[in-house]
Structure 1
Amino acid sequence: MIISKTPLRASLFGGGSDFRAYFESSSLGYGSVLSVGLDMHVYITVNKKFDDKIRVVYNGNENVDTLDEVKHNIIREALRLVGIEKGIEVIYMADIPMSSAGIGLASSSALAVGVLNALHAYKGEFVPPKQLAEEACYIEIECLGQRIGIQDQYAVAHGGFNRYRFLSDGSVSITPGIINNEIRDSLVKKLMLFFTGNTRDSRNILAEQSDSLEKKRKKLDALVMTVNRVCENIADGDLDCVGEELDRTWQIKKQLAGGISNLNIDLMYETARAHGAIGGKILGAGGGGFMLLYVPENKQDNVRYGLKGYREVPFKIDYQGSRIIFVD
């Protein structure tokens, strides 16, 4: 039996610049995001089955004779990629409801990375985070045809608080977003996470965003430069710039595709701002899921009061990324 544990993630800045259609021909030479691994996880258990069937358990329960019969597309393609075609059981659990697709925390990519990690370990193979991310991208984008970026797979595979640069030659560089531990811890204390109460199918939003990338390159260039500026300001001890830039880039993000925001999200955001939040954003593609806010610590109780109808989710940073936590 093998169990893998893979963090979810919150993307702070640069989302959209991780689409290949952008960074492979960017005038800047790269796309860039600033992302943090969260101590909220996806767990994958893999076990040898007594018979030759394939059993997959999530919010559904499959017990089939052949790989092609597996309905769960990510798990099916991960089994195919690793070369396991029979006699195995795969169970998927998470710290969030498994039915909550479209929450903005990269749960699909965490599933892809986590199941690949567990399946490789089942075969006695150690796979580094870079390979896990590349294979997850291959499954989600090439095999399943999802029109998404590639930041999520790297963020959940590596964990930590990192700046990712997606270079035009296809390579990815990873550096710490904050070197000073004290500054990093102080920043995390100023971030608050609230569930909007709504989920959404992000595929339509992401497809529209992908279709319109050519028209919005200047906006995406501005988001990339924001990542660089924020990292420099944080290094100088200016944490409030995070809130200010979250507010500014949220206004840009809403212009990238329809459905990223709506009246309820706008009201929630303006309520948070009126009660002391400096800035914030909807995580992921938008339209629902989780809202991340930058709030000075002396204003956080005010924001909690203003958003008392929404569930706050405290979090810490997961620094380990996807890992194997049990082998028997």
Structure 2
Amino acid sequence: MTDTSATPSGSPLPSDELLTAVVAGFEERYGQAPTSLWAAPGRVNFIGEHTDYNDGFVLPFAIDKHTVMAVRERGDRMLRVASSFTDEQVEISLDQLAPDTISGWSAYPLGAIWAAGAFGADLERVQGIELYLVSDIPVGAGLSSSAALESVVALAVNELWGLGFDRQTLAKIGQRSENEVVGAPTGIMDQSAVLLSKPDSAVLLDCRSLDSSVVPLGLHDEELTIVVTDTRVEHEHATGGYAARRASCEKGAAVLGVTTLRDLSRDDLARAEQLLDDETFRRVRHVITENERVLELVKTLRASGAGAVGELLDASHTSMRDDFEISVPELDLAVEVARVHGAVGARMTGGGFGGSAIALIHRSRVESLREAQLAAFAAAGYVTPVVFEVTPSDGASRLPL
């Protein structure tokens, strides 16, 4: 059984400001102190975009930005949820918990509890909780603020209620909540990254078998870092282009006679081009080549280090821009500026249609890159981006109170 209660070691913990805010917010809302604290990080996907729901490969890592939750157990069956990001406080009985009784922002925390029951947890024997959430993960930036929220709740109730799930199952619980309660047709990558990551490493996840392995990044030794440019163009997974891209992938797989696009390789591209319309073909080509890039990047990391992976990051962005068509002008500009100012490689990260770009760059160039991004966005008339470093960090955990 995976230990789901360990405190991270050798990894940045949530800031003192977050910890103070979550305790103070809990006491203000509920009139008493919490009995436990929990944290879950956001994530950056190093490479492997829109491959997860195609049973493919992804390589994400957790970052040093967190959702933090304060909890107090109750003596009845009521669930009470509140947060710093809304004035709304939601209260519902465990006996009434169902996808059609949950809506709005509370679908994320309450959906995770419902999904635990859907995975076999006996929720009839447990008592309620009240919780309060704060976060410094930018919402809509493609850094998995939603998966952090689901995962921190799933981790906490798993321990507090003695449910006995391992972390791989907790990731499935978060995904089911996202799919069936929130209504976003996402894969399992985000929750897996939030729950399975280790410091200075990425998680290579096979989204078919759910086998995972920790891949050291070695950024510190090469004096490299990851810079995120949050374009502040917010994206929504529950609506619009994300669902359309997933439908295109399913269409391509059906026409080509395979269960998912994972079953195809570059050798199938000629046949795919003959059988598919141009748009569907390009969607399929992205997934096939992106799976290849994930595995090649891991091989390159192990053989030559992070400084040698730039071409693969660049090619990933080109594929997402041209074949999958999920980039936006702000993301393309962020990637272009990063390349001009010395990045080893750069790409958009996350589901697309907004969100963030990442750049792998030498530490000495971080400040000049930040200034260049701000200047370029201003010159283009875009909203001022938020540019910051992230550190590959540990997964979700219980914190000392």
The TM-score, its normalising length taken from structure 1, stands at 0.84
| Residue 211 (structure 1) aligned with residue 241 (structure 2) | no
- Residue deviations 1:269-318, cap 9 Å, x none? 22222222243122211232222112234544432331235432222221
Equivalenced residues, count: 307
Give the aligned residue type for 2:327: S
Q: CA deviation at 1:6?
A: 1.0
The aligned runs of 1:10-29 (5 Å cut-off) are 10-19=44-53, 22-23=54-55
Aligned 8 A contact 1:37 1:155 in 2: yes
- Residue deviations 1:6-33, cap 9 Å, x none? 11111011121111xx22xxxxxxx101
Distance of 1:211 and 1:70 partners within structure 2: 26
Which residue among 42, 47, 51 is the counterpart of 1:8?
42
| Structure 1 pair 6–150 and aligned structure 2 pair: CA distance change class (3 A) | same
* Residue aligning to 2:361: 295
Aligned 8 A contact 2:226 2:391 in 1: no
| Residue 78 (structure 1) aligned with residue 153 (structure 2) | no
Distance of 1:297 and 1:113 partners within structure 2: 31
Consecutive unaligned residues of structure 1, counting only runs of 5 or more, are 24-30
Consecutive unaligned residues of structure 2, counting only runs of 5 or more, are 1-34, 118-122, 253-279, 376-384
Aligned 8 A contact 2:137 2:143 in 1: no
- Residue deviations 1:181-221, cap 9 Å, x none? 7x343467232222223322233231121011123333211
Distance of 1:154 and 1:53 partners within structure 2: 29
Give the aligned residue type for 1:6: A
* Residue aligning to 1:39: 64
* Residue aligning to 2:399: 325
* Residue aligning to 2:207: 166
Distance of 2:127 and 2:164 partners within structure 1: 21
Aligned 8 A contact 1:62 1:70 in 2: no
* Residue aligning to 1:27: none
Aligned 8 A contact 1:202 1:286 in 2: no
- Residue deviations 1:206-255, cap 9 Å, x none? 11210111233332111111111111111122433322211111010124
| Residue 137 (structure 1) aligned with residue 175 (structure 2) | yes
Q: CA deviation at 1:74?
A: 2.2
Distance of 2:328 and 2:128 partners within structure 1: 47
The aligned runs of 1:165-204 (5 Å cut-off) are 165-167=206-208, 171-178=209-216, 183-186=218-221, 189-203=224-238, 204=240
| Structure 1 pair 91–269 and aligned structure 2 pair: CA distance change class (3 A) | same
Q: CA deviation at 1:132?
A: 0.8
| Structure 1 pair 263–86 and aligned structure 2 pair: CA distance change class (3 A) | same
Aligned 8 A contact 1:5 1:324 in 2: yes
| Residue 253 (structure 1) aligned with residue 328 (structure 2) | no
| Structure 1 pair 273–283 and aligned structure 2 pair: CA distance change class (3 A) | same
The TM-score, its normalising length taken from structure 2, stands at 0.69
Q: Decide which moves more: 210-219 or 296-305.
A: 296-305
| Structure 1 pair 239–145 and aligned structure 2 pair: CA distance change class (3 A) | same
SS in 1 for 2:113: helix
- Residue deviations 1:38-91, cap 9 Å, x none? 111111222124666432102233243544555411222233334278743121
* Residue aligning to 1:91: 132
Give the aligned residue type for 1:205: G
Whichever structure has more helix as a proportion of its residues is 2
Q: Decide which moves more: 76-85 or 36-45.
A: 76-85
Q: Decide which moves more: 191-200 or 154-163.
A: 191-200
SS in 2 for 1:202: coil
Name the larger-Rg structure: 2
Distance of 1:159 and 1:188 partners within structure 2: 21
* Residue aligning to 2:188: 150
* Residue aligning to 2:166: 128
| Structure 1 pair 123–273 and aligned structure 2 pair: CA distance change class (3 A) | same
